[in-house]
Chain A
């Protein structure tokens, strides 16, 4: 239950961090809040040769609104976003999701970008990013690129990030007028990994439903708003979505139970957003 030995570097700037990441190669890991990585290291599920600790890099520690987005830097903790007084007006879906994300003590040190880079299929922050149509900014020595959430998450703990790239910023779209948001999840105990988590975004023309914890990554479906006028059609569409997710049996829940959760929680979240 102790990590294997590694070299440790604590850069003072994002430039230094990115340079270190290029030099160290594929065997290096970025350490930010450590709330996923340290558990993995303690259990020796990973044995990186170098840890690059960005938790104290000042130019990565920011949370700010930039026109259309809430931009969250790589060193900003989940707590610093959660306790933001204006969050419920800025990104209401995130405000609803935070109480489901692990625990107060974990959110205090865990980072938003860390959760996105880790890409656990049951994690709430990637799910909310996908539901809202957010973006991820990747930075390497070669430059910066912006990737849509839909393209970023590619599978179980798999993302579009190249080994020399740092997840520099997550961009959550700000609340839009006439759009309603709802988040809910089912887990074995409060703060446990979600067996099924849902995020609904209902606008004047469309209904978006994103589901986490069922497939190998968060998944999104968009339907025209018309469908909401007929409850039967919407239920059928959610049922199709539930089957398309390819749920599997595991020791937490059966595939059948997961599909039922998608149908039940998905419909309830959409209804809550519509009401």
Chain B
């Protein structure tokens, strides 16, 4: 059993985007504040701090959740993924991030980090979602710039791309497979 007194300074270790990290906090410190203030991972944004806006969504133990509704001490020893880790081990943005850029799925970008983390978890579990399912998943996020249409398009395009299915984004100069390679005879993207 772990117990901490309210005025203890607690040292928390966790795995952030594949790296072992540690920092200190109080038992009442929110995971969102611990990530930003203690570990300097400011990619995660904080909006409403009561679970409504979705900006602070990160992946905790593999599933998307609100970091403002999780205590840092609850994440002790867990694996936490944030937007900083999305394109880990690659030079370019991840396929999901590229689809967001292609489709103009963000404007000010405040909500984007949380949305990307939700979509990452969701597409892993439901690789071929319908538009309705994507909209249901996105209902947990507030975006005041885009009107969501372009976000939905980017998510559906990412799913199609991963399944090797044709989609409108292929015509875009930024699309993977665009630069002369295109789909092979089975309709799959050569370098996707």
Q: Say whether B28 contacts A2, CB under 8 Å.
A: yes
- A79 interface neighbour in B54, B63, B73, Cβ under 8 Å: B63
B63 nearest CB neighbor, chain A only: A108
| A34-B74, A109-B60, A109-B65 known; A99 vs B136 contact (CB < 8 Å) | yes
Can you show 23 pairs from A to B with CB atoms below 8 A apart? A3-B28, A3-B30, A5-B26, A6-B27, A7-B3, A7-B5, A8-B4, A8-B6, A9-B3, A10-B73, A34-B69, A38-B68, A39-B50, A39-B51, A42-B68, A102-B140, A103-B54, A104-B118, A105-B57, A105-B64, A105-B65, A105-B141, A109-B69
Q: Is A4 an interface residue (CB 8 A)?
A: yes
- B139 interface neighbour in A11, A16, A79, A190, Cβ under 8 Å: A190
How far apart are the CA atoms of A105 and B138 in the complex, in Å?
A: 9
User: Which A residues, 30 to 59, have Cβ-Cβ distances below 8 Å to chain B?
Assistant: 31, 34-35, 38-39, 42-43, 49, 51, 53, 55
User: Which B residues, 101 to 138, have Cβ-Cβ distances below 8 Å to chain A?
Assistant: 118, 121-122, 125, 135-137
Q: Which B residues touch A109, using CB under 8 A? A: 60, 63, 65-66, 69-70
Q: B-side interface residues toward A, CB under 8 Å?
A: 1-7, 26-28, 30, 33, 49-51, 54, 57, 60, 63-66, 68-71, 73-74, 118, 121-122, 125, 135-137, 139-141
Q: Which A residues touch B135, using CB under 8 A? A: 190
Q: Which B residues touch A257, using CB under 8 A? A: none
Q: Which B residues touch A106, using CB under 8 A? A: 51, 65-66, 140
| A103-B140, A104-B64 known; A5 vs B51 contact (CB < 8 Å) | no
Q: Say whether B51 contacts A104, CB under 8 Å.
A: no
- What does the 1/0 interface line of A118-145 toward B look like (CB < 8 Å)? 0000000000000000000000000000
Q: Say whether A103 contacts B139, CB under 8 Å.
A: yes
How far apart are the CA atoms of A99 and B33 in the complex, in Å?
A: 30
Q: Most chain-A CB neighbours within 10 Å: which of B54, B64, B65?
A: B65
Q: Which B residues touch A99, using CB under 8 A? A: 136
- The minimal Cβ–Cβ distance linking B14 to chain A, given in whole angstroms, is 14
Q: Which A residues touch B74, using CB under 8 A? A: 10, 31, 34, 53, 55
How far apart are the CA atoms of A198 and B1 in the complex, in Å?
A: 42
Q: Is A12 an interface residue (CB 8 A)?
A: yes
| A7-B5, A8-B27, A79-B63 known; A1 vs B73 contact (CB < 8 Å) | no
Q: Which A residues touch B66, using CB under 8 A? A: 35, 105-106, 109
| A8-B27, A34-B74, A108-B64 known; A42 vs B49 contact (CB < 8 Å) | yes
- B1 interface neighbour in A9, A38, A189, Cβ under 8 Å: A9
| A10-B3, A105-B54, A109-B66 known; A1 vs B136 contact (CB < 8 Å) | no
| A6-B28, A8-B71, A34-B70 known; A191 vs B140 contact (CB < 8 Å) | yes
Q: Say whether B49 contacts A104, CB under 8 Å.
A: no
- The minimal Cβ–Cβ distance linking B29 to chain A, given in whole angstroms, is 8
Q: Which A residues touch B51, using CB under 8 A? A: 35, 38-39, 106
B135 nearest CB neighbor, chain A only: A190
- The minimal Cβ–Cβ distance linking B35 to chain A, given in whole angstroms, is 15
How far apart are the CA atoms of A108 and B54 in the complex, in Å?
A: 13
Q: Which A residues touch B2, using CB under 8 A? A: 8-10
Q: Which B residues touch A38, using CB under 8 A? A: 30, 50-51, 68-71
Q: Which A residues touch B136, using CB under 8 A? A: 99, 104, 190
How far apart are the CA atoms of A83 and B125 in the complex, in Å?
A: 9
Q: Which B residues touch A10, using CB under 8 A? A: 1-3, 73-74
A13 nearest CB neighbor, chain B only: B1
Q: Say whether B122 contacts A104, CB under 8 Å.
A: yes
Q: Which A residues touch B71, using CB under 8 A? A: 8, 31, 34, 38, 51, 53
Q: Which A residues touch B6, using CB under 8 A? A: 5-8, 49
How far apart are the CA atoms of A11 and B57 in the complex, in Å?
A: 26
B121 nearest CB neighbor, chain A only: A108
Q: Say whether A104 contacts B5, CB under 8 Å.
A: no
| A34-B69, A79-B63, A109-B69 known; A104 vs B50 contact (CB < 8 Å) | no
- The minimal Cβ–Cβ distance linking B38 to chain A, given in whole angstroms, is 14
Q: Which B residues touch A51, using CB under 8 A? A: 27, 71
